[in-house]
A and B are shown apart, each in its own frame.
Chain A
Amino acid sequence: MPGLLSKIWMEVRWAVLWFSLGLAAVMALLTALLPRVLGDIHHTFERLPMVRPLITALLGVDPGDRISAELSQAFLWVHPTVLTLIWAHETMYCTRTPAGEIDRGTADFLFCLPVSRWSLYLSETIGWIVSGSVMLLVGFTGHWISSVVFPSDMRLSLSSALMVLSNLSDVYLAVGGFAFLVSSISDRRGRAMGLVFAVLLASFLLNFLAQFTDWARAAAPYLSVMEYYRPAIIIQSGEFPVRDVLSLTGLAAVLWTTGGVVFHRRSICTV
């Protein structure tokens, strides 16, 4: 296991560093700018009525005519740039093995080491969880520093921030579990990444369509991961989203385990 972890470290360290710094910078920037931008959002609502359902879709609740200080903080955690950075990192990471290894032809070297497929899968998982934790913590630090540097009355309490972070971590787990499963059945990394992104995009769009159509509203709890990620409600209620966290953790566990079983049982075919 230490050998496999050092191999993962050699391969992902720069990507994790850059993604983490990028996320920290984006979160710091959004923390500083969002209150000012969203303070005048009611003018935008009047001029562009489509913006309101979009924000409702992102937040999971209708912000009303004016977005409160708390809700503006929630918007930070569902901002498409933040989610795109996190998902891009984990989609890249979780499709490394086996799809990436087969695709670049190094599968013969890696899978012929004297370790079981489960050991390989577990070491990849450890790397994924550690790198995700680093990234989310660095991102959160960016937000925290910015909220200190730019004094505002809209600072989120630490408990609320940690609850949102915990919910976001569960989204991270669910999306990563899905990416591991797709990677396990694929021989082409690009195809695996494309499929994961397509499903995430569809999930995002479904969440948006749920504001307008009944069928999308009915399908969203089953098909949209965003249905279980609602920072606005956490911030407003101050309660830990037990149901959402359990749903996402359960989903992640099922997807990750299925990916592991498939990887353990599949033939590695490169010819």
Chain B
Amino acid sequence: MVPSRCVLLLPVILSESAANMSVVVTNDLCRDYGIRRGIRDVSLSVERGEIFGFLGPNGAGKSTTIRILTGLLRAGSGSARIFDRDCWTDGASIRREIGYVPGDVRLYPWLTTQRALKLLSQVRGRDVLQSGLEFAERFRLEPALLVRQMSRGNRQKLALVLALAHNPLLLVLDEPTSGLDPLMQDTLMLCLRELAAEGHTVLFSSHTLSEVEALCDHVAVIRDGRIVEDATLASLRQQAPRQIVITVAERRTLAGLPWPDGVRVVYQPGAVAGSGETAALQVPAILRDRSCVLELHGSSAAFLSWAAAQHFEDVSISAPSLEALFRNYYQESKAL
């Protein structure tokens, strides 16, 4: 016989295990579009209360993964589960608990914020008008403005309001900042941090590296349909290189210089066309023929003592940047 104390404790144990379980889990998820590339063996795990950044260049497979999670697409193979429920067969019940902003927001032209919130209230079976109007106020969205009269940014704001209004346990955002001005981007970041602090989960897809760096706890990078990195932001920061720009005096060449350990030359004058061209953009145009861009992995102290002996005209060292790390993930795809 089960002791009565155990019976009393059981709901507590169950709710704790539910609280600790992963909110989103995908295992070896695959999806093909015939001749077009889809995704291959995508395995992700998003924990409760986490802001999960899903990064990748255009066409890498972010939206495909998200569309499988929201039940729009059927996976070719593998599994996708949210709240331990299958995303395809239990899509309707999952969508009750999630808010979703698609990558390309299109809404009915006859909708206004108010009408859309009333419609959502009817569909969801609970009143979301008041909370939705509060979000609309935060995003400075006119409640009576018709979608057909809205700018792209306002339509994006409305999509965000509709995704946030019912206080979802999981928020799935596919490039949500596109079209938003910097102030509204800040408002969105603030909203997402508040949600995460309350224990809600955010899955945030983007190809803007800085916003992911500023917001997320955990990041997965997808490239050519495969996950190439899945780590916490803290551990990625340890791998992140510093970017160094060295400028030398005129008539001095950098070719043949013996670089110290941990240094990778990203760009130098006269180099063959390649990925270094984008790094060169960080150097003022008038200095480009006598500057080079390096990445430094590890301590900067050894590099500084080496650089002091080289008599460079100028050396600038940035703080460890995830952007450089992410760019590496992106650019390696060109080599494939």
Contact = CB atoms under 8 A, between A and B. Distances in A.
Interface string A253-271: 0000000000001111111
A145 to B, nearest CB: 33
Contacts of B72: 107-108, 111-112, 267-268
Interface string B12-47: 000000000000000000000100000000000000
Nearest to B111: A10
A4 B123 contact: yes
Contacts of B100: 108, 112
B95 A108 contact: no
B79 interface: no
B95 A112 contact: yes
A116 interface: yes
Interface string B171-189: 0000000000000000000
B119 A116 contact: no
B158 to A, nearest CB: 10
B123 A109 contact: no
Interface string B272-310: 000000000000000000000000000000000000000
Given A112-B70, A269-B73, A3 B119 contact: yes
B123 A116 contact: no
A207 to B, nearest CB: 39
Nearest to B104: A105
Contacts of B92: 114-116, 119
B70 A3 contact: no
Contacts of B73: 267-269
Contacts of B108: 7, 10-11, 106, 109
Given A7-B119, A112-B72, A114-B124, A269 B33 contact: yes
B106 A108 contact: yes
Interface string A1-30: 011101100110000000000000000000
Interface string B111-127: 00001000111111000
B119 A106 contact: no
Given A3-B122, A4-B123, A113 B106 contact: no
B90 to A, nearest CB: 10
Nearest to A111: B72
B148 interface: no
A34 B125 CA distance: 53
A23 to B, nearest CB: 25
Contacts of B67: 268, 271
A2 B120 CA distance: 11
A115 B104 CA distance: 21
A166 B62 CA distance: 51
Contacts of A113: 95, 120, 123
Contacts of A66: none
A113 to B, nearest CB: 5
Contact of B123 (A115, A266, A267, A271): A115
Contacts of A107: 72
B91 interface: yes
A115 B93 CA distance: 8
B106 A109 contact: yes
Contacts of A191: none
A114 B123 CA distance: 7
B327 interface: no
A6 B33 contact: no
Nearest to B63: A271
A104 interface: yes
Interface string B77-110: 0000000000000011101100010101111101
Contacts of B201: none
A171 to B, nearest CB: 31
A111 B123 CA distance: 12
Contacts of A11: 108, 110
B264 interface: no
Nearest to A265: B74
B64 interface: yes
Interface string A224-237: 00000000000000
Contacts of B159: 109
13 contacts: A3-B119, A3-B122, A6-B119, A7-B108, A105-B106, A106-B107, A109-B162, A112-B71, A112-B102, A114-B96, A115-B92, A265-B74, A271-B64
Q: Which 10 A-B pairs have the closest CB atoms?
A: A3-B122, A105-B106, A3-B123, A108-B102, A114-B96, A114-B95, A116-B92, A268-B72, A267-B73, A267-B74
